[in-house]
Amino acid sequence: MSLSDKRILLVVAGGIAAYKSLELVRRLRERGAYVRCVLTNSGAEFVTPLALSALSGDKVYSELFSLTDEAEMGHIQLSREADLLVIAPATADLLARMAGGQANDLATTVLLATDKPVLAAPAMNVRMWLHPATQANLAILKERGVVLLGPEDGDMACGEFGPGRMSEPMEILAAVERHFANGGVLAGRRALVTSGPTLEAIDPVRFLSNHSSGRQGHAIAAALAAAGAQTTLVSGPVSLDDPPGVEVQRVNSADEMLAACQAALPVDVAVCAAAVADWRPRHSLAGKIKKGDGHAPAIKLVENPDILATLAAAGPARPTLVIGFAAETENVIEQASAKRLKKGCDWILANDVAPGTGTFGGAENLVHVIDAQGAESWPRMSKAAVAQKLSSRIAEALGAG
């Protein structure tokens, strides 16, 4: 989506995630946005005004009581000239001062004086994020209409793991695009996406499943929605937030996922990114299986329904474009090509999930897009970037835009 003529005011606060703001500025500028930056004093400990100025093509504002800045661009004008204010990273301190209505530096003054929408991408230590004071501040800001994106789970610079990582620049970019969509290249189109694992019950406490995190499927649903498509996401059990602007149907088993997919038809495009369990127990026991004489119980397995093949089957409700995923550990392109023909889908995205690749549960993916013309290999990139690239390819194939 083009952001031509859109004016973004980016507030960069202090935190190790501030380095991501440089990539965000570059991506916004690539899409034609006019970006002006406000850098806090603590933010300047992590990124320099020169770097932000070079990427944005404009001067960087930092001081509230700068006679030069006030003469050239008063803080009231700075706050109201933008179409959208983005805070990345939004630290616990800045969020607290926003919630309290403070105006003790340029960033908080601008945020208090603005009458434009605000998008904040929090970034902080997991303990700070989970603290009741932070959660109370977030509740206040949400009530005032501030849109929060993230944070994500992951390893942090402090050595801890959990919620607190700032969303990746491509995810923030997608949120900006959603804000300005009001249509988009896929406006008027309907999309269906499956995501995550399925869970097949053995008994009330045990199940068969896999390591899928749902990150790629959720990113695809977000990208399609950002492009204007009316998007339904059918998701197995995951620990991810629902993508903004997406209708989410939560399921556990493959049978439930198939039923939800069929209920969402008709659609223009279906992307089957879920890692559906191939088998399920023939019978799910009502009571917990107990240890007996030391012999493991025999569990009879039966095949699950093939959701991709069912959606790709000929019929009046078949989507115009059916896309599958093939998670392989060897001979990736060859096996995925054979799977595409067997399933009857239009495209298949093959990825290597062998141990050590980090694909399952990771933030990056390396895919090969296979269609009737052959295979197109994409470089390793974030799953959000894969989703954006796939969304553009879908729009082109559907003749949208």
Q: Which long-range contacts (CB under 8 A, 24 or more apart) does 46-52 make?
A: 46/14, 46/15, 46/16, 46/18, 46/19, 47/12, 47/18, 47/19, 47/21, 47/22, 51/22, 52/12, 52/21, 52/22, 52/25
The values of phi and psi at residue 322, to 5°, are -115, 125
Asked if 261 and 214 count as a contact pair (C-beta separation under 8 A), the reply is no
Whether the bond between 244 and the residue before it is cis, its omega within 30 degrees of 0, is no
Instruction: Say whether 158 is catalytic.
Output: yes
Considering 37, 158, 261, 345, which one is annotated as catalytic? 158
List of residues 6+ apart from 205 with CB closer than 8 A? 288
Give DSSP secondary structure letters for 319-348. Answer: -SEEEEEEEESSSHHHHHHHHHHHHT-SEE
The values of phi and psi at residue 60, to 5°, are -105, 135
Catalytic residues: 158
